[in-house]
Structure 1
């Protein structure tokens, strides 16, 4: 099993302390998009994802540094252990779906920053990115039923697998190409 992410509340607190006007789920989506798009995993990811060169790199051992370490390890996990940061199952459908859509917004933006305007994507990768972009434009419903709960679970799993697919298309494929040259 891969590394565990810090809790949503810890990441939210770290965002407030760093004076980031970004929800924790969106920041994690941005980190995932940055890594999936082939962004520098060792550099100051926070400044890159937030497009703010004045932001310092997260301090070693801090919540945001642990978020990066755990996320990077999850992308590299051979058991596909990527976890999307968001509220637990006890949160309302609106909170959970809203966080998922925030995560998608962060992912799409940072993926574009890392991968560039015309990344090398498989047909499945192109479709996956388009679907995540559609989810990034969605808004949460106030309430729902068991069918909506099941649909959200399926969408979360799709997004998780899509992020891993895009990571394979961009980050892993680029590494493979570089090792062949």
Structure 2
């Protein structure tokens, strides 16, 4: 798993050590990028408390298991609300949490891969599929599914692959916003079936 403390923007106001601890406590054991993608996916739905749903996915309140630490839940709530403000801000913009540029290329590619997997996981939780979207959003969803088939072991350092990563990262960011905007047009009945 990528160490959450090596992640750069957009999570500068967040205690990465505490966040890493929260994510390690999750039965899903997601990377920071995957958890961020999950929340961005949940934000696409018509959910009264998207951050609460995200936390419940990460730290379920299972009766047979040890209850999650209330401090972990509170820390995740703070992180989730920060990310929600970025995504739903007036500029409709956000950045994927990425390892620092000096990190190996495969680590940075893996962060994008994990983010997309998290996003698609959340869409599944919401019951939103490719069929529910139209046009560019449907194509973006398909492209996300294709990105999850990426062979991470074949990634090699090089200027061409660095450029490809920059382009893919920007594509993922824009495609996620396209899906987010398209989900706002899905009839409420479908979005609340989750």
- TM-score range (shorter-chain normalised) is 0.7 to 0.9
Deviations 1:116-155 (A, max 9, x none): 3466312100000010111122132442211110110110
Measured in 2, the distance between the counterparts of 1:7 and 1:87 equals 16
* Structure 2 unmatched ranges of 5 or more: 1-8, 190-194
Distance across 1 between alignment mates of 2:187 and 2:104: 40
Tell me which of 151, 157, 173 is aligned to 1:139: 151
Question: Are 1:120 and 2:132 counterparts?
Answer: yes
1:101 Cα offset (Å): 0.5
Counterpart check, 1:72 vs 2:84: yes
CA distance in 2, matches of 1:156, 1:70: 21
Q: Deviations over 1:69-91 (max 9, x none)?
A: 12211221232321112212121
Q: Which runs of 5+ in 1 are unaligned?
A: none
Runs of 4+ in structure 1 deviating by more than 6 angstroms, as ranges, are none
Deviations 1:45-69 (A, max 9, x none): 222x449452758533x1x222211
Deviation (angstroms), 1:20: 4.4
1:46–1:139 CA distance, 2 compared to 1 (3 A): farther
1:150 is matched with 163
Is 1:59 aligned to residue 59 of structure 2? no
**Which residue of the other structure, out of 16, 30, 39, is the alignment partner of 2:24?**
16
Equivalent position to 1:27, from 35, 55, 61: 35
Name the SS of the counterpart of 2:151 in structure 1: coil
Aligned residues: CA RMSD: 2.9
Contact 2:55 2:73 in 1 (8 A): no
137 and 8 in structure 1: CA distance in 2 versus 1, 3 angstrom threshold = farther
Equivalent pairs counted in the alignment come to 171
Aligned with 1:99 (options 103, 111, 128): 111
TM-score (ref. length: structure 2): 0.74
Q: Offset at 1:173?
A: 2.6
Separation in 1 of the partners of 2:130 and 2:160? 37
Shift in CA distance, 154/41, structure 1 to aligned 2, threshold 3 Å: same
Q: 2:54 aligned to 45, 58, 64, which one?
A: 45
